[in-house]
Amino acid sequence: MRLEKHLDSFIIEMRNTKNLSNKSIKAYYSDILNFIKFINEQNDKLINSKNLIKYIDSLRTIKKLKDSSIKRKIISLKIFTQYLYDYSIIDTYPFHRLKFKYKKEHTLPKTLTIEEVKKLLYCITSSFSLTSSNFKIFEGTRDLAIIDLLISTGIRIGEVCSIKLDDINIIDKTLIIHGKGRKERLLYLSSSATINNIKKWLDIRSNHLTNYLFLIRYGNPLTIHSIEDIFYKYRDLSKINPKSTPHYLRHTFATNLLSNGADIRSVQEILGHSSISTTEIYTEISLNRKQEVLTKFNYRNNL
């Protein structure tokens, strides 16, 4: 049985039938491929309960993975083995009556302090404000708009990469975000400083024909890794928490909204943890509520 061949077929079916991001598809592929390599090293080379238990045990004892990572891999294997069983590639579903216990991990979201956020913004502004280099001005204006947008909206860096010019309305101060699972949500840009920084960037990038909002100098859209590098550059220059990542800005945004009195339901919608309706009526109601919450509670407004 060529399991690699069945894995390829499984991935194709997942792409065609499930509303999954490329990141999720890659995670499924990686999880299952590692399991296949393990199976190929066994004497019987069978997908059965005994080998599954051995594999899960190896993840804990040999690879020392956290229970959260193991749980995700088990979910991948359950879906894959169900696929094999449904297509009569294996005779029995190996997870039948199998149960695994997990330790509950209590981890708090990591955030930056308000002072660290101020330092970060000041560092970016001062890095290009006195230079005469066109490239430095291009790069600095773009970087400031990106970091400020992350601070002001709490969106994911992957969502920043996918923003197009058509998604942003400077006059209405609205922004359409293309989130996980191809779900869209509408946000309100409550900070006038953020709006001004985006306007300055739009003026500088106006000569480029591509529709993506954030670009490198030669017109190609930025990648997730590019934005990570931008954040790390100014993180180190501003001497804020050296372990911080761009995702700290998302946690900081959400934490401050809740701390300042915003309701959880609104915060979940703003962060993209629930779907948004594309109908005109829902958009109007949703935008009014989010505009009220962000105008009243967004800490960026007062920096």
Selected catalytic residue, list 72, 78, 273, 289 = 273
Q: Which residue among the candidates 164, 200, 247, 289 is catalytic per the annotation?
A: 247
CB 142 within 8 A of CB 267: no
Residue tagged active-site, from 6, 73, 142, 156: 156
> Is 251 a residue of the active site?
no
Catalytic residue among 54, 265, 282, 296: 282
Q: Which of 180, 200, 233, 289 does the annotation list as catalytic?
A: 180
Cα–Cα–Cα angle for 161, 277, 300, rounded to 5 degrees: 50
The Cα 195–Cα 177 span in angstroms is 16
273 is catalytic: yes
Query: CB count, 10 Å around CB of 205?
Result: 20
Report the alpha-carbon distance of residue 234 to residue 124 in Å, rounded: 7
Q: Look up 106 and say whether it is catalytic.
A: no
State how far the Cα of 59 lies from the Cα of 48, in Å rounded to an integer.
17
CA–CA separation, 41 vs 76, rounded Å? 20
Of the listed 73, 250, 290, 300, which one is catalytic?
250
Query: Any catalytic annotation for residue 250?
Result: yes
Question: Using CA atoms, how far apart are residues 180 and 23, in angstroms rounded to an integer?
Answer: 10
Residue 40 CB-density burial (10 A; 0-12 exposed, 13-18 middle, 19+ buried) = exposed
Q: How far is CA 122 from CA 140, 145, 156, in A?
A: 12, 13, 22
200 among known catalytic residues: no
* Catalytic residue check, 282: yes
Active site residues: 156, 180, 247, 250, 273, 282
